[in-house]
Amino acid sequence: MNHVRSIILGAPGSGKGTISDRIIKNFVIKHISSGDILRSNIANKTDLGKTVSSYVSSGMLVPDEVMNTLIQNELTQYKESWLLDGYPRTLPQAQKLAESVDITLVINLVVPFNVIIDRLKSRWIHEPSGRVYNIGFNDPKVPGLDDITNEKLVQREDDKPAVVQNRLNTYATNANPVIEFFKAKGVLETFQGESSNEIWKKLYPFLCHKLEKRA
Ligand code: G5P
Ligand code: MG
């Protein structure tokens, strides 16, 4: 099988991280999340982290040039199949990416905004790894602690209700041109649902034809 160059698109909180996690557990593919990379730089107070922290905490997009350089550098490290989550998010980012790679698959998640707003109130994350929990959906084994490391879980700065609204507005403005760009290339597949389980039921059989299954 040729190496797959894929993207998962969807609004903030639509389940990109959750679904990506299921994809990497079932298929041989590397998950690259732009948000996880930014958050780990912010937590480690790197120069990049200092540059992007005010954008991320207020739910604004980091400038395209910063993101393009970051992701281009990241992608040079991987020869295997990969799945990009959180990038590209604007038409200029999509165009930049398409200059250097042929994207073979774009998974577009569609979840109603009212469902998302509810979910993000109960999200907890393990910042160093990016592992995500949700109270009542995928609870940690011990409340407040990561299942693998036992370290403390935190809530994301940008999950405050006012910031969530900003992020959804930003998504509503920027997403369509990106979706249309990949639709025109014939690689876009849309999966709709109110829960990640409902989406996964349709996505898994589809991916069995596209990706190499884990042994
Ligand atoms: P991110 O990190 O890319 P977003 O805003 O695109 O952030 P986010 O919030 O990470 O996306 P997600 O990954 O789509 O959401 O969703 P998720 O974490 O899997 O699920 C959300 C919650 O719902 C979790 O708690 C999960 O457990 C729960 N959940 C999932 N499914 C279900 C379900 O079926 N039922 C229930 N009850 N719960 C469920 O970007 C962050 C910031 O970084 C910058 C921007 O500032 C951005 O705001 N950034 C960029 N800026 C410019 N360009 C880029 N390319 C950028 N990339 C990042
Ligand atoms: Mg995410």
What is the tens place of the pLDDT at every residue in 51-99? 999 999 999 999 999 999 999 999 999 999 999 999 999 999 999 999 9
Ligand nearest to the CA of 37: 1
Does the annotation place 34 within a ligand binding site?
yes
Ligand 1 atom nearest the C-alpha of 159 is 9
Mutate to test the pocket of ligand 1, among 72, 89, 96, 139 (most ligand atoms within 8 A of CB): 89
Q: What are phi and psi of 37, to 5 degrees?
A: -65, -45
- Based on the residue annotation, tell me whether 16 is a catalytic residue of this protein: yes
DSSP string, the chain: -PPPEEEEE--TTSSHHHHHHHHHHHBS-EEEEHHHHHHHHHHTT-HHHHHHHHHHHHTPPPPHHHHHHHHHHHHTT--S-EEEES---SHHHHHHHHHH----EEEEEE--HHHHHHHHTTEEEETTTTEEEETTTB--SSTTB-TTT-PBPB--GGGSHHHHHHHHHHHHHHHHHHHHHHHHTT-EEEEE-SSHHHHHHHHHHHHHTTSPBP-
Q: What is the chain's mean pLDDT, rounded?
A: 96
| Confidence band for 2, pLDDT divided at 50, 70 and 90 | confident
The reported pLDDT for the residue numbered 86 is 98
15 is in an annotated binding site: yes
pTM of the model: 0.95
- Is the reported ipTM for this assembly greater than 0.90? yes
What does the pLDDT average to over 119-148?
Answer: 95
Q: Which residues of 159-196 are buried (b: 16+ CB within 10 A; e: fewer)?
A: bbeebbeebbebbeebbeebbebbeeeebbeebebeeb
Confidence check: pLDDT of 1 > 70: no
On whether 61 is known to bind a ligand per the annotation, the reply is yes
Q: Is a pLDDT exceeding 70 seen at residue 138?
A: yes
| pLDDT in the model for residue 144 | 96
Is the distance from CB of 107 to CB of 199 less than 8 angstroms? no
Q: Is 123 a catalytic residue?
A: yes
| pLDDT score at 171 | 96
Q: What percent of the chain has pLDDT over 70?
A: 100
The single residue listed with the structure tokens 């298929």 is 27
The predicted model gives 142-155 an average pLDDT of: 97
pLDDT at 135: 93
Atom index in ligand 1 nearest the CA of residue 35 equals: 2
Residues near ion ligand 2 (CB < 5 Å) are 16-17
pLDDT score at 125: 95
Q: What is the mean pLDDT of residues 134-138?
A: 93
